[in-house]
C-alpha cells in the first residue's frame, strides 16, 4: 500500500503547496524590503500590511507572468548568457510598482535603473533565503 503522498510529504518535512507559497511570499517580502533599504530609487511609505500586499503582488507576478516572459525571451536570454533575465526581473519590479501606485500601497520605483539594481538585490537575497529557509526545494538542483 503506497499511502497518501501528501501526508508522507508533511511527515518527512517537505512543505505542501500552500505552505510553499506562503514561504515564497515571505521570501519575496524580505527580499523586497532589503532592496527598498539598499537601493536608492525604490521607496516604500505605509503600514506593514500594505508591504505584505506588495509582496503578494510581486509573488503573483513572478508566478504567472514571469514564466511566460522567460519562454518568449528565451533566444535573447541564451544570446546574453542569462543577463537578460535581470531585465525581465527589473520589469517585474516596475510592474509591481505601477500596480502599487494604482492601489495606493506605498511602493514606488523611480526609474529603470533603480528597478534593475533592485532586481539584482532581490535575486541575491531571495536565493540566499530560499536555500536557507526551504532547502528541500533545492535538494536535487544544487550541484
What is the residue-level pLDDT of the chain in tens, covering all 143 positions? 455 555 544 455 555 677 778 888 899 999 999 999 999 999 999 899 999 999 999 999 988 998 899 999 999 999 999 889 999 999 999 999 999 999 999 999 999 999 999 999 999 999 999 888 766 665 555 44
3-state secondary structure the chain: CCCCHHHHHHHHCCCCHHHHHHHHHHHHHHHHHHHHHHCCCEEECCCHHHHHHHHHHHHHHHHHCHHHHHHHCHHHHHHCCCCHHHHHHHHHHHHHHHHHHHCCCCEEECCHHHHHHHHHHHHHHHHHHHHHHCHHHHCCCCC
Task: Give residue 8's pLDDT.
Answer: 46
Task: Give residue 143's pLDDT.
Answer: 47
Task: Give residue 117's pLDDT.
Answer: 96
pTM, two decimals, is: 0.79
Task: Give residue 9's pLDDT.
Answer: 47
Amino acid at each position: 500500500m503506497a499511502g497518501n503522498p501528501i501526508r508522507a510529504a508533511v511527515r518527512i518535512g517537505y512543505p505542501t503547496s500552500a505552505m510553499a507559497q506562503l514561504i515564497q511570499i515571505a521570501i519575496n517580502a524580505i527580499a523586497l524590503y532589503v532592496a527598498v533599504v539598499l537601493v536608492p530609487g525604490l521607496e516604500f511609505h505605509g503600514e506593514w500590511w500594505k508591504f505584505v500586499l506588495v509582496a503578494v503582488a510581486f509573488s503573483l507576478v513572478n508566478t504567472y507572468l514571469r514564466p511566460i516572459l522567460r519562454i518568449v525571451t528565451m533566444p535573447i536570454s541564451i544570446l546574453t548568457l542569462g543577463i537578460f533575465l535581470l531585465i525581465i526581473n527589473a520589469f517585474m519590479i516596475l510592474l509591481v510598482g505601477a500596480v502599487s501606485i494604482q492601489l495606493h500601497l506605498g511602493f514606488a520605483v523611480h526609474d529603470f535603473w533603480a528597478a534593475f539594481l533592485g532586481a539584482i538585490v532581490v535575486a541575491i537575497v531571495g536565493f540566499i533565503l530560499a536555500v536557507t529557509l526551504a532547502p528541500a526545494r533545492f535538494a536535487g538542483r544544487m550541484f
